[in-house]
A and B are shown apart, each in its own frame.
Chain A
Amino acid sequence: MPDQSDGIIPQYYEDVPLEDDYLIQVPEIAKLDDEWPQAESDAAIVAETAIHSRKRKMEGDVLIVGAGISGMQAALDIADKGYRVILIDKSSTIGGNMVKLDKTFPTNDCSICTSAPKMVEVSRHPNITLLTYAEIADLKGEAGNFTARVYRKSKYVDPDKCTGCDDCTPVCPVDVISVFDEKLAKRKAIYIEFPQAVPIVYTIDYEACVGCGSCERVCEPGAISFLEKSEDIEVKVGSVIVATGYELFEPVEMRREYGYGKYPNVITAMQFERLLSSFGPTEGKARRPSDGEKPESIAWIQCVGSRSKQLGWPYCSRVCCMYATKEASIQKETDPETDVSIFYMDLRAYGKDFQQYYDKAKDMGVEYIRARPSSVYENEDKSITIRYMDTHTREVKEKTVEMLVLSTAIIPSQENQRLAEVLGIDVDESGFFQVKSIMTDPIESTRDGVYLAGCDQGPKDIPDSVAMASGAAAKAISDIVDRDQAEAVEPPEQKDVTGEKPRIGVFVCHCGKNINGYLDCKEVADYIGEQPYVEYATDIMFACSEDTQKDIREKIEEEGLNRVIVAACSPITHGGLFQDTMVEAGLNKYLFEFANIRQHCSWVHSHDREEATQKAKDLVRMSANKSALLEPLEQEEVSVIPSVLIVGGGLSGMRAALALSDMKIKTYLLEKDPELGGMLRRLHTLFPSDVKASDIIDPLIKRVSESEFITVMTGSTLEDIEGFIGNFEATINTPGGEEKLEFGTAIIASGFGEIDLTGRYGYGDSEKIMTQTELEERIEAGTLEKPKTVVMVNCAGAMEPERPYCCRVGCGVSIKNAKMIKEMYPDSDVYILYRDIRVFGKDEEEYFTDVIEGKRVKIVRYTYEEQPEVAVDDDGNVMVTVHDSIYGDTLELPADLVVLTAQTEGNESVEGLMEMFKIPAGPGRYLIEAHAKIRPLDFATDGVYFCGSAHFPKNLADTIAQSEGAASRAAIPIMKGTLVLEGITANVLEEICSGCGLCVAACPFSAIDLESGKAIVNTALCKGCGVCTATCRAGAIQQKGFKDEQILSMIKGAMHEVY
């Protein structure tokens, strides 16, 4: 764990030469010996041992390199389909960069809270083999049949014995600068990166360890093993996903301009994230590195290392505008007095809800200054003065702040070149991994069978990475789909304990000294042994160790136990483990109960042994009371109809159908128009390349119509949907009459369109005024006459109270079409009137720069307050008047062609779909995902997924990645074949239910219906929250596992000794 006691390290610049990246160097594979060294029980031979390794072989279906959010998502998507994943990460924990963040935009969800459950799921998944501290060294073979070599460094800690108790770090004499904490804090030579690390196994930093053996002496389970070997593993798989992530630009080259590494109060945005993080060096408070004091003023400088060919990279880093906005608004929220400002060039709030988030930040008092500061200098009091030119007055100004945060760019990892050689794939001109084609294959690398996910191929935000990871999972599966799925291990038959008197077994865990050091475990065990129904009680050293698991199973058998309580750490981390033990012993897993006497007792009351012991007794007694009333719960199984319904036959619907077809899953592709193709049918070319839309769409239509797995239904609309995940039934209006279809899951790909601008910007008053799509139709048809002056008005109808969002694609479309006109008619004058140029990410910014520099397109910036006016006089002449907010003059542009980049909105069919599938939509009829960051393709309603512009407008590459991702999500239940439902569900006692309907209204999942005057729970939809139970006035609906009587027994147990 990072050492937080000293807080932030003030003079870390002096301690740490910035050139040194402090990463552990992997010993060269070439140095490996086949011979093992002679073992000596001396820590000093660590260095010697490190270069020797144990060889072994592994087999799986897919190898995933990198276990950040993308790698984890891809792993879960594949493993959930029944295929075996080998997931490797070079760090000692999984989680990647996301876990370092404090919160995530635009929902301000806590980052670790959303990623930690995924980390635990990955580590417990029976189809995932996790290899941390491991790197890939070689990849031979071809798609379907790869052989990789993975080198796994020794952690010198036995993962089976380490309990994560943290006894070792206080005794370690070595301080190491924590890379996880962005060099703002120290950790020890033996460490875990952060408290929620997975696996919770400590690692000895081989470079830093002095071999004193102090940790070995205090480690009670004897987990420290200086002889633990590194491993050289041969891995056979069918396909590979590369999700190795990114690095952040380290602005040392900008020492002169922005003072990073020179002035202590200049930090990077990731360092600021660590300061904001509740488990960071300052426990969540922004503090100046110079003196640890609260800064009264903070400024951010955007585009540090991005959008610059001279210092950094030419592309836009895509996430910085929003993360700076997030950090600034969190600071403003925590401390409204702080003076907070952001220096920016274009504020790229392009995504779903981003513009609203940005507007909110402005309302909170975050000041946005449009300037690229030229330099900064430090004052005597260590404050920082920023010099910049005011773009309105053209004056050079200065602003002094107490802390300066540099919004540094996402850049390709330094290891990409080496990795690319190992993997046999290409890198692009920036050093990111090269995709096969950004217009058709944005997930494929340049080697067949090797797929890319997340930021290793370009900057991306979390949901786009997650969607792409799911897409990569679909691709990886299609190479191995003919293999047998991993066989599920059949548990022993469950004993029927109904009607038996409760016989409770209690195991009180010492957790070494972690519990027993602060309270008396033996006393607790003796006490609880006297309680009613407790048949057996004992205290044990480590409840989670493999041998204790065996003990528990034996005691269940010997003592005839039918309920088990473990009093130890937390059910959140260890509940699943003991439930598995129950199942292995033939007991229903819901007959297990946890008493948390570590996190909730020994660790938080470590100064009063008596009090802590008393509290532990009470906690275990409460559990015992409930345990006596526990019942075995059944987990229903439902079979899944093996087909998918896709609503919408545009680009995204077709790409999803093809991805499913590659996984040999049957789909019905529903399209309301007489032909497939959707929006792309109306476009001429596609941004950010000039490829013709028809060259994209025609081959797709051909592939779709040739697939034996796809049934195309054009000219058809949905009439009704019934059922739930696994078993849906649709009524469809087809040209041939009404049809019924059965399917297991559904994908909504209903697309989007331009809003109607009639009556605004002169639209409808003149033939010369049209939208971008109409312009493209005209170019496609060859009917565009040569214009003398073209004026494009961006953000027409956008970011207004009624539709407060940015349309995400308009800037790109206008630049592409301006370029097209200039290429057709080089003499024409083309103006683009814009508010911010939001061409984000890789490729787009470069395309834009190229057009602006080379094509002589004139761009004019206007503000929301002073919108351009389009007037048509009696002779039909069109005049556009605009106030240039940069140069301050008002321009009058006589135009013979005005092109409006219209705001967009979701397809009108969405309203019906919302009703039928019980799915929500937000502003502009764009559908709302289950979670903005980590479940971007799912709805809260199980079995229904979505992709493409039904979610929000997006470019081709993002749409394809999302569509293939949605295909992966929709394929999971199908490939599982049967679904095991949650055992904790609501249950209605019919004889008491009066049919009042309160529970129906309260249920967040629409899982309850009234039938003949009684509430009926659909267990397939019920998630077991218990809101209905708390709502029922008669106690007629009970949450299994949390019944009123069970909770009341705990309340009594908390207050009284006697049962």
Chain B
Amino acid sequence: MADDAKNDFEPKILGFLCNWCSYTGADLAGTSRLQYPSNIRIIKVMCSGRVNPQFILKAFQEGADGVLVSGCHPGDCHYIKGNYHARRKLTLLHDLMDHMGIDPGRFQLSWVSASEGHKFAEVVTKFTEQVRELGPQTKMAGGGGQ
């Protein structure tokens, strides 16, 4: 793809944030008036452990170019160990993505606490740029891969 086209490309990014840490961290980014790219659309879940790998695949199928999942730092889970479940499942999914023909760079799992507004803005900015570099996701979009 030509560089110009890449720069014009606005990726669609979906973010799953846990209620207790990362969603609140995203709130703090707002309260602190930090600026980050507007590509991300956020879905709140109670715990990152709620994120079924199916959601991520579904998002790609519906046309997402990148998916971000963020929860409490390991050890800080509001539900004791939900984020460990997320970590196990989603690390496995991450490893499988290559196999499915989707660049693993299109999916990211991160830990953002309720006090890390800056970190949230940073994660989103970096991830958006990373996905922008990768260009549009065509492998599964539009129900592809079926």
Contact = CB atoms under 8 A, between A and B. Distances in A.
Contact of B50 (A604, A612, A1029): A1029
Contact of B24 (A113, A1047, A1056): A113
Contacts of B24: 113, 572
B26 A600 contact: yes
A856 interface: no
B35 A1051 contact: no
Contacts of A113: 21, 24, 113-115
11 contacts: A107-B75, A109-B76, A278-B118, A604-B33, A1024-B46, A1025-B78, A1026-B47, A1026-B49, A1044-B52, A1044-B54, A1051-B55
Interface stretch (B1-9, B58-66, B101-109, B126-134): B58-66
A1027 B82 contact: yes
A184 B121 CA distance: 25
Interface string A1019-1059: 00001111101110000000100101001101110111000
Contacts of B58: 1048, 1051
Contacts of B47: 1025-1027
B47 to A, nearest CB: 4
A1023 B20 CA distance: 13
A604 B36 CA distance: 6
A1023 B79 contact: yes
Contacts of B55: 1047-1048, 1051
A603 interface: yes
A612 B38 contact: yes
A599 B41 contact: no
B92 interface: no
Interface in A367-387: none
B114 A606 contact: no
Contacts of B118: 278, 283-284
A604 B41 contact: no
Contacts of B62: 1051-1052, 1054-1056
A1031 B92 CA distance: 14
Given A1004-B79, A1051-B62, A1052-B62, A1025 B113 contact: no
Nearest to A1004: B80
A1025 B86 CA distance: 12
B115 A1027 contact: no
A572 B41 contact: no
Given A110-B113, A113-B113, A1025-B47, A606 B31 contact: no
A937 B64 CA distance: 46
Interface string A975-1007: 000000000100000000000000000101100
Contact of A984 (B46, B51, B76, B85): B46
Given A1025-B50, A1039-B46, A1004 B23 contact: no
Interface residues of B, number: 54
A603 B30 contact: yes
Contacts of A607: 35
A1029 B52 contact: yes
Contacts of B23: 572
Interface stretch (A236-244, A257-265, A615-623, A738-746): A615-623
Contacts of A614: 38
Nearest to A626: B43
Interface centre among B23, B42, B64, B118 (most CB of A within 10 A): B42
A112 B32 CA distance: 15
A1026 B45 contact: yes
Given A278-B115, A1051-B14, A1025 B38 contact: no
Given A113-B21, A1056-B62, 20 more contacts: A113-B114, A195-B32, A278-B117, A279-B28, A279-B32, A603-B33, A604-B33, A604-B34, A604-B121, A606-B33, A611-B38, A619-B42, A1004-B79, A1004-B82, A1005-B79, A1005-B80, A1026-B45, A1027-B82, A1048-B58, A1054-B12
Contacts of A1027: 47, 49-50, 79, 82, 85
Contacts of A1030: 49-52, 85-86, 89
Interface of B: 12, 14, 19, 21, 23-24, 26-36, 38, 41-47, 49-52, 54-55, 58-59, 62-64, 75-82, 85-86, 89, 113-118, 121
B70 to A, nearest CB: 13
A343 B34 CA distance: 39
A612 B39 CA distance: 10
Interface centre among A278, A601, A1005, A1042 (most CB of B within 10 A): A278
Interface in A590-648: 596, 598-601, 603-608, 611-612, 614-615, 618-619, 622
B117 to A, nearest CB: 7
A571 B36 CA distance: 21
Contacts of A277: 115
A919 interface: no
A570 interface: yes
A491 B50 CA distance: 32
A680 interface: no
A274 to B, nearest CB: 13
Interface centre among B38, B54, B77 (most CB of A within 10 A): B38
A799 interface: no
A144 B49 CA distance: 49
B82 A608 contact: no
Nearest to B24: A572
Contacts of B113: 110, 113
A1042 B45 contact: yes
A1039 B50 contact: yes
Contacts of A109: 76
Given A110-B114, A599-B27, A1051-B58, A1042 B50 contact: yes
A112 B42 contact: no
A605 B35 contact: yes
Contacts of B63: 1055-1056
Nearest to B72: A113
B51 A608 contact: no
Interface string A414-446: 000000000000000000000000000000000
A755 interface: no
Contacts of B30: 570, 598-601, 603-604
A601 B36 CA distance: 10
A109 B76 CA distance: 8
Contacts of A1055: 12, 14, 59, 62-64
B41 A619 contact: yes
B86 to A, nearest CB: 8
Contacts of B52: 1029-1030, 1044
Interface centre among B43, B45, B117 (most CB of A within 10 A): B43
B95 to A, nearest CB: 18
Contacts of A481: none
Interface centre among B32, B33, B116 (most CB of A within 10 A): B32
Contacts of B116: 278
Nearest to B33: A603
The 7 closest A-B pairs by CB, nearest first: A599-B30, A1026-B50, A1025-B79, A1027-B49, A113-B114, A1055-B62, A1025-B47
Contact of A1025 (B32, B49, B75): B49
A828 B77 CA distance: 56
Nearest to A1027: B49
A112 B115 contact: yes
A572 B45 contact: no
A77 to B, nearest CB: 21
Contacts of B27: 570, 572-573, 596, 599-600
Nearest to A1023: B79
A364 interface: no
B36 A618 contact: no
A515 to B, nearest CB: 11
Nearest to B45: A1042
A859 interface: no
Contacts of B64: 1051, 1054-1055
A698 B87 CA distance: 54
A940 interface: yes
B137 to A, nearest CB: 11
Interface in A559-610: 570-573, 596, 598-601, 603-608
